[in-house]
Amino acid sequence: MDIFEQVSEDIKKAMIARNKVELEALRNVKKELLEVKTSKESAGVLTDAQAVKSISKLVKQNKEAAIVFKEQNREDLAEEYLAQAAVMERYLPAQMSENELDSAVKAIIAQVGATSLQDLGKVMGIASKQLAGKADGRAISEKVKQLLG
């Protein structure tokens, strides 16, 4: 069962359980996946890789919205967005630990032959592709800067 089908099944389960937060989060995911599936680029076919990329984007948007709401002293809305992000994260691959990220970035730096911050673009280009969905882009960037700096 692919991610799209799993989300559809989980929507039904959330409806039966009357779980509003989960239902809203899953509906947002399904809407985003449908938009990707019907876009010209995908020609009606949705791969799991495209689904993971779309869900990652949604999770990031929800977390950023939660930060804004916290800054505006709207804890209720911030908690709701964080809860939805947690539901969405169930469909993403497990995130890399700090040690795993460290060793993966070191391997990429060795592969590219990078020696200084001037090689940041080369390393980030490969690291972003290889670690997509496994680690946050900001965390990858910070780790690369730390190791090259």
Task: Give average pLDDT by consecutive 10-residue segment, the chain, 149 residues.
Answer: 90 94 94 89 81 89 94 93 93 84 86 81 85 79 84
C-alpha–C-alpha distance, residues 134 and 132, integer Å: 5
Q: How far is CA 137 from CA 28, 72, 141, 142, in A?
A: 22, 26, 6, 9
Domain assignment of residue 59, given as a range:
3-89
102 and 85 share one domain: no
Query: Quick one: tokens of 27?
Result: 């509906």
24 touches 11 (CB < 8 A): no
81 and 106 share one domain: no
105 and 45 share one domain: no
9 and 26 share one domain: yes
* DSSP result, 46-72: --HHHHHHHHHHHHHHHHHHHHHHHHT
85 and 102 share one domain: no
* pLDDT score for 146: 84
Residue among 141, 18, 17, 31 at smallest CA distance from 88 = 31
41 and 68 share one domain: yes
* pLDDT score for 97: 83
H helices of 2-131, in order, are 3-17, 20-37, 48-71, 75-89, 98-112, 120-130
pTM, two decimals, is 0.74
CATH number for 106: 1.10.10.410
Q: Which of 69, 89, 109 lies at the terminal end of a domain, its last residue?
A: 89
* pLDDT score for 125: 86
Q: How many separate domains does the chain show?
A: 2
